[in-house]
């Protein structure tokens, strides 16, 4: 029997907000997100896939809001599904 480590998805979400958004370590997004991940939102920009795409989005936000701080208010999870509600603050520069 081969044991495979199962990622703690809630911990990954918390790591994403702490390392990528709060600490500015945008390269960590490439460790957190699967290569096929695509962020879909209402922005008119073209979606960039994978961790590199998320890193580019985070870098642009952090450039606009250098003191950006995100607080995870609530995390809900069920199996491999995780949802987070968060609050962000920062001064545009």
How many CA within 13 A on the CB side of residue 43? 9
Instruction: Quote the distance between the C-alpha of residue 51 and its chain's center.
Output: 9
- β-pair partners for 82: 77
Q: Are 39 and 60 in contact (CB under 8 A)?
A: no
Structure tokens at 46: 């073209």
The pLDDT tens digits for 6-62 are 568 999 999 999 999 999 999 999 999 999 988 877 666 677 789 999 999 999 999
- β-pair partners for 70: 88
Residue with tokens 């702490």: 18
| Res. 81: pLDDT tops 70 | yes
pLDDT at 45: 67
| Res. 68: pLDDT tops 80 | yes
Instruction: Give the right CATH number for 9-89 from 3.10.450.50, 3.10.180.10, 3.40.50.170, 3.40.1190.20.
Output: 3.10.450.50
pLDDT at 22: 97
At 79, is the pLDDT very low, low, confident or very high (cuts 50, 70, 90)? Answer: confident
């Amino acid at each position: 029997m081969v044991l495979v480590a199962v990622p703690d998805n809630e911990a990954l979400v918390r790591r994403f907000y702490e390392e990528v958004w709060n600490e500015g370590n945008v390269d960590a997004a490439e460790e957190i997100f699967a290569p096929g991940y695509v962020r879909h939102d209402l922005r008119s920009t073209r979606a960039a896939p994978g961790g590199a795409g998320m890193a580019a989005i985070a870098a642009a936000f952090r450039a606009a809001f250098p003191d950006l701080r995100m607080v995870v208010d609530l995390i809900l999870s069920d199996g491999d599904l995780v949802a987070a509600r968060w609050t962000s603050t920062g001064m545009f520069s």
